[in-house]
């Protein structure tokens, strides 16, 4: 979960000089304010995308904007800018902050309304774009792999809140993240209400077994991740068969290789799940192939500033 995975808060050399895009204009960060009556704040009523900028190229920007539009349609939210204008606003915000590499957070809230759940009085959705530096997992996690656990908090049932809607309400994921961190882990697997693997708190999950790549079905409670799709495309290019199906905890324990994907996390090798070593307990060679192929894509497949 875009968000795929940020260890610390976004940070810049001096946050006071950061420019934020807020409703058709760039403002200094200290002047970027929304009302306490905005339903995005009151009820988590809104949508967002987390997007990466690599060497002046906004990776998969079009795909992110399409997903934003689909999330908006799903929650019946009218975005007050068309895709072309949003595309330019994202680029403009990056340029204003002199960024060549970083992370972009694009949000659309329901806007100001009355207290209460009704959206009838919310007439002006708010568009917010933040472009800043990003701190990823420490490099040692990519070199030596990450250890994770399965936590008790279950992923929201897709019939209650479809995981394909990238909404501002992330409490389900946050609770799982808290459980993991309280036990000394940075990431955790979340199961769905049937006990199958859905995703991690902020990332999609893949496992390799006997030459086939497996990942949970979207219907199992997984976000339809942009990086997830990139990995599927890479698998096709590498002639590695892929199965999207129900995955159990047992399947993760006995996998030959396992890795996570997300906009912020990129591709992170997993070397232990629930105290069980994955493969030889070191990042796998096929995972390394995916990461290498991903690195080649990031500066080519996107929109240049």
| Catalytic site positions | 166
What is the maximal distance between C-alpha atoms in the chain? 58
SS (H, E, C) the chain: CCCCCCCCCCECCCHHHCEEEECCCEEEHHHCCCCCCEHHHHHCCEEEEEEEEECCEEECHHHHHHHHHHHHHHCCCCCCCCHHHHHHHHHHHHHHCCCCCEEEEEEEECCECCCCCCCCCCCCCEEEEEEEECCCCCHHHHHHCEEEEECCCCCCCCCCCCCCCCECCCHHHHHHHHHHHHCCCCCEEEECCCCCEEEECCCEEEEEECCEEEECCHHHCCCCCHHHHHHHHHHHHCCCCEEECCCCHHHHHCCCEEEEEECCCEEEEEEEECCEECCCCCCCHHHHHHHHHHHHHCCCCEEEC
User: Residue 153 and residue 198: Cα distance in Å, rounded?
Assistant: 11
Rounded (10°) CA dihedral 27, 79, 300, 97: 0
- Judge whether 52 and 10 are in contact, CB under 8 Å: no
Which tokens hold the place of 62? Answer: 């079009």
């Amino acid at each position: 979960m875009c968000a795929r995975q940020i260890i610390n808060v976004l940070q810049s050399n001096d946050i006071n000089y950061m420019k934020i895009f807020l409703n058709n204009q760039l403002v200094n960060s200290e002047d970027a304010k929304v009302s306490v009556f905005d339903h995005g704040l009151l009820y988590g009523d809104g949508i967002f995308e987390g997007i990466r900028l690599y060497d002046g190229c906004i990776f998969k920007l079009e795909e992110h904007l399409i997903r934003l539009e689909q999330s908006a349609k799903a929650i019946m939210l009218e975005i007050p800018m068309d895709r072309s204008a949003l595309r330019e606003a994202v680029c403009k915000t990056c340029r204003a902050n002199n960024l060549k590499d970083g992370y972009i957070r694009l949000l659309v809230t329901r806007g100001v309304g009355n207290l209460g759940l009704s959206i009838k009085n919310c007439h002006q959705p708010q568009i917010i774009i933040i472009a800043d530096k990003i701190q990823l997992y420490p490099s040692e996690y990519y070199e030596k792999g990450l250890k994770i656990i399965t936590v008790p908090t279950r992923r929201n049932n897709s019939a209650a809140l479809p995981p394909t809607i990238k909404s501002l309400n992330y409490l389900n994921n946050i609770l799982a993240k808290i459980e993991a961190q309280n036990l000394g882990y940075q990431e955790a697997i979340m199961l769905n209400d049937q006990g199958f693997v859905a995703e991690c708190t902020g990332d999609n999950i893949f496992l390799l077994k006997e030459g086939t790549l497996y990942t949970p079905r979207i219907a199992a409670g997984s976000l339809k991740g942009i990086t997830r799709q990139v990995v599927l495309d890479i698998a096709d290019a590498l002639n590695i068969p892929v199965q999207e199906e129900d995955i159990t905890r047992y399947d993760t324990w006995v996998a030959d290789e396992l890795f996570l994907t997300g906009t912020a996390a990129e591709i992170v090798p997993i070397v232990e799940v629930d105290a069980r070593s994955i493969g030889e307990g070191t990042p796998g060679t096929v995972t390394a192939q995916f990461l290498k192929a991903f690195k080649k894509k990031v500066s080519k497949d996107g929109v240049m500033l």
